[in-house]
Amino acid sequence: MDTTSFPAVWAVVGPGVAGAVFGVGWWFWVDAVVCSAAAVPFLHYLPGLFASFAALMFNCVKREDANYNYYSPYDDSEWRLKLWLFVSYVVSFVSLAGAVGFLVQDALTDTGPSAWTGVAGVLQSVFVLISGLMYWTCHSED
């Protein structure tokens, strides 16, 4: 194992750390659902699911393909990859916005889940997306 430079260490350790951060996000949500006095509707699960799906989406694109050295046998530029990355960005944004919306709703209303459920939802989306970004930055095909 090459420990002299940070990119080399990050390429080795990064996927494991990304998995741990992903686990942190989802276990926060498990904690919120388990410790909630009121039943959590299925709508509140969607931001976390969308964040996980978005992380999967932009990890389908290799980091080296999304730059200007992209070679395509169809004489196209890299617009398809960037369009896919843009769609995954939209899904990420929707999941974060939904989580924040549910947090505000849970904090304002007395019925339904408590504010901790909303906070855990936001933490879940943030940690899941961060784990996707970590995996994307350290996952480099040689």
Partner 1 sequence: VSLPHLRFAQLLVWFCSRFRRRLGSPIRVSGWRGIGRLGFRFEFGVTIGWLAGLAFMFSTSILLQILACALYNNWWPMLAALMYVLVPMPCLFFGGGSTQFLTSRDGGGWFNAAKFLTGASAMGSIAIPAILRHAGLIETGAMFIEFTSFFILVCTVMCFHRATLDEDW
Which residues are at the interface with partner 1 (CB under 8 A)? 1-2, 8, 11-12, 14-24, 26-27, 30-31, 34-35, 135, 138-139, 141-142
Length of the chain: 142
Q: Residue 118 and residue 44: Cα distance in Å, rounded?
A: 8
Which amino acid, one-letter code, is at 127?
A: F
CB count, 10 Å around CB of 83? 10
* Minimal distance, residue 138 CB to partner 1, in Å: 8
Closer Cβ to partner 1, 4 or 108, answer by number: 4
Closer Cβ to partner 1, 28 or 50, answer by number: 28
Q: Residue 120 and residue 112: Cα distance in Å, rounded?
A: 15
Closer Cβ to partner 1, 16 or 90, answer by number: 16
* Minimal distance, residue 42 CB to partner 1, in Å: 20
* Minimal distance, residue 16 CB to partner 1, in Å: 4
- Is residue 129 within 8 Å of 91, Cβ to Cβ? no
Closer Cβ to partner 1, 26 or 84, answer by number: 26
Q: What Å distances lie between residue 104 and 65, 90, 135, CA to CA?
A: 39, 21, 30
* Minimal distance, residue 18 CB to partner 1, in Å: 6
* Minimal distance, residue 83 CB to partner 1, in Å: 23
- In this structure, what DSSP letter does residue 39 have? P
* Residue showing tokens 């926060």: 28
Closer Cβ to partner 1, 16 or 41, answer by number: 16
